[in-house]
Amino acid sequence: MRAILSVVGYAAILAGIVGLLTNHSVFSTSPVVIVGQLLAIALMTWARVSFGLRSFHLTATPTQGGLMTSGPYHFIRHPIYTSVCLFTWVSALGHASLLSTAFACLVSAGVAMRVVTEENLVAMQYPEYRDYAKRTKRLIPFVF
């Protein structure tokens, strides 16, 4: 069941991003949107570099190699999802419409599915995850 929920979440993220792209709601000349998108890209890059050569999985399967707690993972448990949400919402708000907001909500719903699924699976594989979860936030440093 978790694998299915994880794939559905991934599909929702992809559908929302594709929706924003086809709706021409990603690229903007607004400096605020551009800075937000650059911050999102920088965070994703930092997280990927910190994560190293571990691979990406379509399902929320924990990777081998120990629990990642350095780099941006020191502050938030899901920096890649944070960057996806930041990029999506900045893009959607830069092209404010009901449709772009719906696509951003779809991405957020997909991220929520993936986060819940991944946290359950990682906690089963790495018992120290529960302590790590107590001292870090899910998506927004110091907030949530």
pLDDT score of 20 more than 70: yes
pTM comes to 0.90
Cα 80-83-87 angle, rounded to 5 deg: 145
DSSP for 2-64, written as a single string: HHHHHHHHHHHHHHHHHHHHHTT-S----HHHHHHHHHHHHHHHHHHHHHTTPPP-SS-PPPS
Domain residue ranges of the chain, discontinuous segments joined by +? 2-51+63-135
Closest CA to 92 of 11, 15, 24: 24
Look at 120 and 52; give whichever has higher pLDDT. Answer: 120
> Each residue of 41-89: pLDDT tens digit?
999 999 999 987 666 666 666 777 778 899 999 999 999 999 999 999 9
**SS3 state of residue 76:** strand
The mean pLDDT of the chain is 91
pLDDT of residue 143: 80
For residues 6 and 44, what is the distance between their CA atoms, to the nearest angstrom?
20
> Each residue of 92-113: pLDDT tens digit?
999 999 999 999 999 999 999 9
